Amino acid sequence: MLGGTFDPIHLGHLRAAENAREALALDEVLFVPSGSPPHRTGPLSSGLDRFAMVALATGLHPAFVASDVELSREGPSYTADTLEELRRGRPADALFLIVGSDTFPEMPTWKDPARLFALCTVAVADRPGAAEPVLRSGSAARVERVAGPGLAISATEVRQRVREGRSVRYLVPEGVADYIGKRGLYR
């Protein structure tokens, strides 16, 4: 599972997911747009728009799947709750949570981190420009480092470029760039 606001999804997200898929031999990567993220202000675009962009971005990859599991749930989107819901639906599957190396140090501040780490293995994907996180050995947490080429792209930068009337092609998938333009997002 790779979660996030995906406001919008960009090639950096897709590359991190592909790195994790290859490194960990994952059969499938679920892309889960957050419904109501508790650690930040709400997304600028609607859940429907963000889900549509994720579906467009992942649709051509046979192992990538867009999921509305958080968008269809009321209240704040806590990752531990999402993982628990996925675990109920897939009791025999090994679950991995893909996070960027910039996000990993924040995880102890998330809701119920002990439950979260008990439900999955955390796959930490290198993010260009982020400090290398310390992966502590000897803890109960299952953590895997995911190496591979990363792309230094941020959704903030993509939104800023749209606001300025600049191109976002080759920062987001082509279908996502077209969707942003047709829907007039981030202007």
pLDDT at 130 (0 to 100): 61
User: Cβ(176)–Cβ(9) under 8 Å?
Assistant: yes
| DSSP per position, 67-124 | --TTTTS-S---HHHHHHHHHHH-TTSPPEEEEETTTGGGGGGSSSHHHHHHH-EEEE
Q: How many CB atoms lie within 10 A of CB 165?
A: 7
Q: Please tell me whether the overall predicted TM-score, pTM, comes out greater than 0.85 for this model.
A: yes
pLDDT (tens digit per residue) in 146-169: 999 999 999 999 999 999 999 999
pLDDT (tens digit per residue) in 72-111: 998 889 999 999 999 999 999 999 999 999 899 999 999 9
Architecture of domain 2-183: 3-Layer(aba) Sandwich (3.40)
